[in-house]
Structures are given as C-alpha cells and as structure tokens.
Structure 1
Amino acid sequence: MSNHETPLGKTTTSRLQLIREYVVLQAKLLSETVSKLDSSATEYDFEESLPTTAVGDDGTAWSVKAHGLGVMFVNPKTKIVVDAHVGFIDAPSVFDAWRLVQYCESKLGTGEDVKSWQETLDKLGSNGIIEPHAKHERHYVFK
C-alpha cells in the first residue's frame, strides 16, 4: 500500500468525503426547515407548514418541496439535489445509497450506480465508520 492509499481504497475514501459533505448539507437544510414547521408537525404530517425555501451555507435559497414522505431541496443555481429521508425530523443526519446517488449525479454530473454505492456503504459499515440507523434498515449514520 502506498503512502497515499488508505485501507478503504481511493474510491471509498472519495465517497466517504462526499457522504460527509452530503450529511452536513442535509442537516443544515433540514435544521432550518424543521425550525419553521408547526410545533405539532410530525415526519408524516408536515406538508401544510413546509416552507418553500431553506438557506444554504453560501446564502443561496434552496427550493423546498414535499417528496413522498420526505423533503427535496434543490439549489436553483447549481441544480444540486438533497432528497431528505423519511424520518427527517428526528434524524437529520441519516443517509442511504439512493439519496447519495441523487446527490452525486446532480453535483458531479456523473452516472452513479445504487448497487455500487450500497457496496461502499457496506464496506464503511464493516470498517466501523457507519452503522445502520435503528429505525430504518437501509439507512445509515456515522458512528
């Protein structure tokens, strides 16, 4: 192994950085959004009080819309997508392979593969970096 490689390999290490970036961004956008919801809102009943925008770290107002049981954020300048998971109110740092694929495709303009991302998550889990979320089988959190 060279000095520049980690036991995880270059691809997994690069993806780990993207996951960390995604989690920080998702948590920021969700924090602002959740702070604007009615106090009675739950993860299954929030649409009526959902704001239409959330401000990112760079001051850009991301569009916000209900998407299934979650929330989708889209940066109007960069077209980057953050599709927050079900259960976002109680667990803003949860991620899964599908949401990472959406994020990376929108950010990098690359074709991503869910199976490949799931393999990355499995590898990170077996190395003790992430673990499954208690309530959602294929969702993960950092240890």
Structure 2
Amino acid sequence: MNHINLATFLSLLRKFTGTQVALISIYLALASKQDDWPRKGTLSLLGAQWDFVRHGAGVRFTNLQTQEEIDAHTSIEDAPQGFDEWRLEIYFSSIEHMIVDVGQDEYDLQSDSSIKPIIEYLLRLNKIAPIPGTKMYELT
C-alpha cells in the first residue's frame, strides 16, 4: 500500500481523465451513431491494447497489459472528461493500492466512501467542478 499526497492524487486524476477522453474519442470514431457503436473489441492507445465492452449507456475499457480499468458511463459523447465517485473507485481499484493523505486524514482510494470526501475537498479547493446537467465532475 502506497501513501500519496493530494498533488499526486490530482496528477493521477489528470492521467485518468486524459486516458478516458482519448479512449472515448477512439471508440466514438468507430461508428457515427450510438446504435452502431460496437459491443466489444480492442483499441490501441499509445502502444497499449485496451479491450472494451459496451454496457448500458457506457463502455468499460481494460488495459490488456496492466489491467487498468476505465469505466466511462453516461454522457460519453457530451462529457468524455466526466467522472464520479464510482468511476474513480473502479479505476483506483484496478491500479496500485493507494491511500491519500489529506492533512490528518487518510483516504483509501479503493473505497467510494473514501473517494466522496476527497471529491468534496477538491470541490472546495476549486480543483474540480460539477458538469451541468449530469451527476459528474471535471477537472478545472
């Protein structure tokens, strides 16, 4: 288990959102209409192979080498940069186990009950903002 500070968490969050946006962009280019989006397959991003599986309103991407998982959900066309507590828990549970140290508090990134207070803290710091019309957030 690795302890990280808030700046490192924000760096990981930037990596997550950048990768998510890139994967969604490649995925959406596979078909012009939502009805034609493929159900499953493999994409290449920066030399890495990512499996994808479409589910409901979203798509789950899994890096075949690292098992890193990004589950893009609602509004993937309108807000590909969006994330919520659940999506972050899925992502952070798929990479190295980390604890974020914020002042005197510690938050386990593999628990959505720990991610929610980090989200609230980042909102107060204006590091993230709600995406209007959704239940998601984005980096500012």
Q: Structure 1 stretches (4+) deviating beyond 3 angstroms?
A: none
Which of 76, 88, 97 lines up with 1:100 in the alignment?
Answer: 88
1:126 is matched with 124
2:139 is matched with 142
Which of 7, 21, 30 lines up with 2:24 in the alignment?
Answer: 30
RMSD across aligned C-alpha pairs, in angstroms? 1.8
CA distance in 1, matches of 2:20, 2:59: 10
Normalising by structure 1, report the TM-score: 0.80
1:7 is matched with none
Matched, 1:66 2:59: no
CA distance in 2, matches of 1:14, 1:118: 17
Which of 33, 43, 66 lines up with 1:54 in the alignment?
Answer: 43
Partner of 1:63, secondary structure, is strand
1:14 is matched with 8
Identity of aligned residues (%): 28
Tell whether the 8 Å contact from 1:70 to 1:86 is kept in structure 2 after alignment.
yes
CA distance in 2, matches of 1:130, 1:63: 29
* Count of aligned pairs between the two proteins: 127
The CA deviation string for residues 53-81 of structure 1, in whole angstroms up to 9 with x for no partner, is 22122x12200111232000011111110
- Which structure has more strand as a fraction of its residues? 2
* Structure number with higher relative contact order (C-alpha < 8 Å, ≥ 6 residues apart): 2
CA distance in 2, matches of 1:63, 1:105: 17
Tell whether the 8 Å contact from 1:36 to 1:50 is kept in structure 2 after alignment.
no
Q: Which runs of 5+ in 1 are unaligned?
A: 1-9
Q: Which runs of 5+ in 2 are unaligned?
A: 99-107
